Amino acid sequence: MRYVFDLDNTLCDTRKNEDGNWDYLGAKPFTDRVRKVNQLYEEGHYIMIETARGCVSGKDWYPQTYEQLISFGLKFHELRTGVKLNADFFVDDKGVNDRDFFGN
């Protein structure tokens, strides 16, 4: 199977700094969720991480995000940055809420 995971506040706790900007590099992994994704990877599933980092600013967050995922110990096949739509609701016939998927 192919799994696509959002990153910020799905696989890691990402907060805003005192300037009101997202502190992407200060994000802390949700270790239980990283473990679950790694299990799926080890079972042979294709893991894609997709993040909106850079969608609004136009900044290329790929290099820093790639290194961050490696530091989290996250196993994945593909990383896409700056490509997600900026929306409050995603409607999809295959969508699953992160809390439902991870059980918390």
At 94 the three-state DSSP class reads: coil
At 8 the three-state DSSP class reads: strand
Of 37-41, 49-53, 81-85, 90-94, the one with minimum mean pLDDT is 90-94
Q: Could you tell me if 78 and 38 are in contact, meaning their C-beta atoms sit under 8 angstroms apart? A: no
Q: Could you tell me if 73 and 37 are in contact, meaning their C-beta atoms sit under 8 angstroms apart? A: no
Helix (H) or strand (E) holding 81: strand 78-81
Domains of the chain are 2-87 (3.40.50.1000)
Residue 70 predicted with pLDDT over 80:
yes
At 86 the three-state DSSP class reads: coil
pLDDT tier, 55 (very low <50, low <70, confident <90, very high otherwise): confident
Residue 53 predicted with pLDDT over 80:
yes
Is the C-alpha dihedral spanning 81, 83, 87, 93 positive or negative?
Answer: negative
pTM of the predicted protein model: 0.86
For strand 78-81 and strand 46-51, is the pairing parallel, antiparallel, or unpaired? parallel
| Mean confidence (pLDDT) of the chain | 91
Given this model, what pLDDT does residue 99 score?
87
Given this model, what pLDDT does residue 86 score?
59
| Amino acid at position 57, single letter | S
Given this model, what pLDDT does residue 8 score?
94
Residue 32 tokens, joined: 């239980």
